[in-house]
């Protein structure tokens, strides 16, 4: 398309070209459309150089992988700021999380209750250690010396991580069918994750749901934070998969990997937990422990300690009677999707940059992508 640049001239104002300021504004910054496309392409890519290649093919916009990295990470930090300020619309609240109507004859036709689940977990993300940062910086300095030319001073060095992996915390609220979801991740500690739980609960008005259920893996920090943040949960349940994982760990230690007697024992224990509850299973576990030889009791004690520490969370018969989920599969899936871009071969991250990329993915997972980008469009006066 050809743009005609008209020039106007007057004795009092001189020469004026009205289109030039608009062209300068466009050339001086990257448009909202390019920013969105860059972030969208990056979410499904394995590295920033490949994303830059895809951007060039898709939109004929040529930028380096490094420029695109800075753009995407900056956008992620902007998302974090706006999310923390509560200025990106969620689009739903707890009152929208209606369950299916009852199928019981006595309650046929009645609307189901509104129900919201809380999930939370920790997930490991690969970090750039301080030693790796120093080694990279030394290589850059060596290349500069070999070139023999003066160059701009390097930016101030950032301190790297003290370990190769850091646990990020994930918080998710979702309804029965996951039609409504609000997820977020943080590099912060347990207390930061707890405040995130409370802030997200306030945004969706969790208190207005008829049923508010936590479904988690039983980590002490999650239980402590749901209590210290005074979340209005009706119940906090132990994910059945994590319970089963610990039962099978005891089975392998006592019976071996493929012993049929051990498989039968584990199946019976899990069936009793699911259908008869904690007390009935506890009695069976005590009798089982007594029947073992001294060398096998250490594994039995580990299982007994695990379940006794989570006694108030093992409520499977009550959960199933109310139609509540007993697994935290949606949260486990969220942990994978929020960190998929961060876990490619050889990837290492600064914690802040990893958190920024997670914020962009969380925006997509929460159904807020379009809402966010609408807030970035320039307003006309």
Same domain for 332 and 307?
Answer: no
Same domain for 189 and 58?
Answer: yes
Query: End of a domain among 285, 313, 341?
Result: 313
pLDDT at 345: 85
Pairing relationship of beta strands 165-174 and 181-186 according to DSSP bridges: antiparallel
Same domain for 216 and 304?
Answer: no
Reference 123, options 51, 9, 219; nearest CA is 219
Same domain for 137 and 41?
Answer: yes
Same domain for 305 and 332?
Answer: no
- For the chain, the distance separating the N- and C-terminal CA atoms, rounded to the nearest angstrom, is 27
Asked, for residue 214, whether it belongs to a domain, the answer is yes
Asked, for residue 191, whether it belongs to a domain, the answer is yes
Q: How far is CA 6 from CA 1, 22, 28, 227, 332, in A?
A: 16, 13, 21, 68, 60
Asked, for residue 152, whether it belongs to a domain, the answer is no
Residues 6+ apart with CB under 8 A from 248: 266
Same domain for 41 and 165?
Answer: yes
Asked, for residue 180, whether it belongs to a domain, the answer is yes
Asked, for residue 21, whether it belongs to a domain, the answer is no
Same domain for 135 and 213?
Answer: yes
Look at the chain and report how many structural domains it folds into.
2
Tens-place pLDDT, residues 327-357 = 999 999 999 999 999 998 889 999 999 999 9
Q: Confirm if 334 and 216 have CB atoms less than 8 A apart.
A: no
- Residue 3 structure tokens: 């743009």
Alpha-helical (H) ranges within the chain are 19-28, 32-43, 48-59, 65-85, 130-147, 190-203, 220-228, 240-255, 260-276, 278-291, 297-309, 316-321, 329-339, 351-365, 369-376
pLDDT per residue rounded down to tens, the chain (381 residues): 344 445 555 555 455 555 455 444 444 468 899 999 999 999 989 899 999 999 999 999 999 999 999 999 999 999 999 999 999 999 999 999 999 876 555 555 678 899 999 999 999 999 999 898 888 888 888 888 888 778 788 778 788 888 999 999 999 999 999 999 999 999 999 999 999 999 999 999 999 999 999 999 999 999 999 999 999 999 999 999 999 999 999 999 999 998 999 999 999 999 999 999 999 999 999 999 999 999 999 999 999 999 999 999 999 999 999 999 999 999 999 999 999 999 988 899 999 999 999 999 999 999 999 999 998 887 655
* Rounded (10°) CA dihedral 32, 33, 34, 39: 90
Asked, for residue 229, whether it belongs to a domain, the answer is yes
Same domain for 180 and 277?
Answer: no
By residue range, what is the domain housing residue 207?
27-97+114-144+157-238+327-381
Asked, for residue 7, whether it belongs to a domain, the answer is no
Asked, for residue 12, whether it belongs to a domain, the answer is no
pLDDT at 277: 96
Same domain for 187 and 66?
Answer: yes
Neighbours of 200 (CB within 10 A): 20
Same domain for 38 and 55?
Answer: yes
Same domain for 201 and 84?
Answer: yes
Tens-place pLDDT, residues 95-104 = 999 998 765 5
Q: What is the pTM of this model?
A: 0.86
For residues 82 and 372, what is the distance between their CA atoms, to the nearest angstrom? 9
Query: End of a domain among 313, 337, 371?
Result: 313
Query: 305-312 contacts: CB < 8 A, separation 24 or more?
Result: 306/246, 307/243, 307/246, 307/278, 307/281, 307/282, 308/282, 309/218, 310/218, 310/238, 311/278, 312/236
Same domain for 372 and 267?
Answer: no
Query: End of a domain among 279, 313, 347?
Result: 313
């Amino acid at each position: 398309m050809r743009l005609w640049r008209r020039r106007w001239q007057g004795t009092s104002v001189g020469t004026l070209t009205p289109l030039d300021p608009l062209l300068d504004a466009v050339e001086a910054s990257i448009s909202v459309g390019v920013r969105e496309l860059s972030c969208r392409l990056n979410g499904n890519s394995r590295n920033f150089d490949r994303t830059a290649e895809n951007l060039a093919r898709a939109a004929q916009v040529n930028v380096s992988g490094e420029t695109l990295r800075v753009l995407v990470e900056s956008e992620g930090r902007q998302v974090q700021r706006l999310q923390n300020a509560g200025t990106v619309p969620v689009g739903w609240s707890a009152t929208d999380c209606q369950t299916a109507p009852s199928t019981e004859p006595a309650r046929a036709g009645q609307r189901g209750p509104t129900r919201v689940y809380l999930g939370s977990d920790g997930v490991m993300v690969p970090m750039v250690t301080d030693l790796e940062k120093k080694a990279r910086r030394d290589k850059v300095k060596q290349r500069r010396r070999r070139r023999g030319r003066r160059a701009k001073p390097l930016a101030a060095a950032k301190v790297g991580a003290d370990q190769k992996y850091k646990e990020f915390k994930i918080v998710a609220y979702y309804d029965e069918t996951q039609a409504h979801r609000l997820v977020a991740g943080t590099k912060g500690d347990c207390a930061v994750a707890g405040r995130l739980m409370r802030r997200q609960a306030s945004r969706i008005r969790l208190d207005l749901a008829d049923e508010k259920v936590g479904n988690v893996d039983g980590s002490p920090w999650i239980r402590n934070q749901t209590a210290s943040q005074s979340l209005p949960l009706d119940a906090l349940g132990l994910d059945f998969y994590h319970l089963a994982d610990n039962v099978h760990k005891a089975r392998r230690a006592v019976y071996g990997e493929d012993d049929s007697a051990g498989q039968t024992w584990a199946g019976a224990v899990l069936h009793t937990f699911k259908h008869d509850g904690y007390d009935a299973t506890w009695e069976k576990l005590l009798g089982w422990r007594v029947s073992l030889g001294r060398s096998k009791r250490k594994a039995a004690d580990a299982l007994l300690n695990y379940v006794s520490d989570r006694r108030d969370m093992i409520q499977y018969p009550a959960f199933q009677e109310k139609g509540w989920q007993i697994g935290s599969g949606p949260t486990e899936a969220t942990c994978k999707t929020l960190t998929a871009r961060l876990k490619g071969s050889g990837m290492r991250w600064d914690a802040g940059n990893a958190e920024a990329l997670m914020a962009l993915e969380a925006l997509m997972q929460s159904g807020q992508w379009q809402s966010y980008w609408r807030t970035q469009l320039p307003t006309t006066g």
